[in-house]
């Protein structure tokens, strides 16, 4: 008897959820908070693979989603994104490189303030700048960054997999090797996706003009 009112509520209100840029911004911010909170955040930090491969990646994805929703909500900021695209891209790349250091992973597990800094920086200094800068970059630059990201996945994966000693004090050698295999597998999937997109004759990234037009048309 209690299911019918709940179902009616879902059918009435669920289609309206996350339909506006502001709602999408709130949704991405909520995802980042849930990823950081001790419950899910603590569980993801139990292994090196889920810490770096899942939590860090999803924090960047959440920031990217918020950044895209922000531009849809405030399209006048596209000019700012275009003007500072290279600085924003460098900020995002530097932030990602910093949090791939094993010592910082240890500190994020041991010290709550470092863990909070990790979440905030990946969200605001990697995900959001990436969302603002990426559509504004030339196609050639995007292709080079695709290749560099692929090389970084395989390079880091090989180093974690082949290293005979532990790089993180909080994680064992098996965890390190699992991360290495995960990064190598992610690189393989990434390479297949790049090859598939190239064979279909599609530009891998979105051209700046197309991205701006699409964002301008979003509600």
Is 165 within a domain?
yes
Is 89 within a domain?
yes
Condensed to tens digits (0 to 9), the pLDDT of residues 172-216 reads: 999 999 999 999 999 999 999 999 988 886 545 444 444 444 444
**What pLDDT is recorded for position 215?**
43
Q: Are 208 and 137 in contact (CB under 8 A)?
A: yes
Is 54 within a domain?
yes
Q: What percent of the chain has pLDDT over 90?
A: 74
Structure letter (DSSP) for residue 45: T
Is 117 within a domain?
yes
Q: Are 144 and 194 in contact (CB under 8 A)?
A: no
Q: Are 63 and 131 in contact (CB under 8 A)?
A: yes
The two tokens of residue 159 are 């180093």
Condensed to tens digits (0 to 9), the pLDDT of residues 82-135 reads: 999 999 999 999 999 999 888 999 999 999 999 999 999 999 999 999 999 999
pTM, entire model: 0.83
Three-class SS of residue 132? helix
- What's the count of helices (H) and strands (E) in the chain, helices before strands? 13, 0
Is 6 within a domain?
no
Is 90 within a domain?
yes
Mean pLDDT (the chain) is 86
Instruction: Write out the residue range of the structural domain in which residue 188 sits.
Output: 18-217
Is 47 within a domain?
yes
Q: How far is CA 156 from the centre of its chain?
A: 17
Is 5 within a domain?
no
Number of independent structural domains in the chain: 1
**What pLDDT is recorded for position 198?**
84
């Amino acid at each position: 008897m209690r299911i019918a009112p709940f179902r009616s509520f879902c059918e009435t209100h669920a289609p309206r959820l996350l339909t506006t840029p502001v709602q999408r911004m709130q949704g991405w911010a909520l995802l980042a908070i849930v990823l950081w909170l001790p419950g899910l955040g603590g569980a993801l930090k139990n292994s090196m693979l889920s810490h770096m491969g899942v939590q860090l990646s999803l924090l960047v994805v959440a920031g990217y989603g918020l950044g895209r929703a922000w531009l849809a909500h405030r399209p006048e900021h596209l000019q700012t994104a275009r003007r500072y695209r290279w600085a924003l891209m460098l900020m995002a790349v530097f932030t990602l490189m910093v949090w791939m250091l094993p010592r910082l992973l240890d500190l994020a597990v041991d010290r709550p303030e470092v863990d909070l800094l990790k979440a905030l920086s990946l969200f605001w200094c990697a995900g959001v700048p990436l969302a603002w800068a990426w559509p504004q970059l030339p196609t050639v630059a995007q292709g080079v960054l695709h290749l560099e990201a692929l090389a970084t996945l395989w390079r880091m994966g090989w180093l974690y997999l082949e290293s005979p000693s532990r790089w993180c004090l909080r994680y064992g050698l098996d965890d390190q090797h699992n991360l290495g295999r995960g990064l190598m597998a992610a690189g393989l999937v990434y390479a297949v996706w790049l090859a598939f997109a190239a064979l279909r004759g599609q530009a891998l990234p979105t051209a700046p003009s197309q991205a701006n037009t699409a964002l301008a048309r979003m509600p």
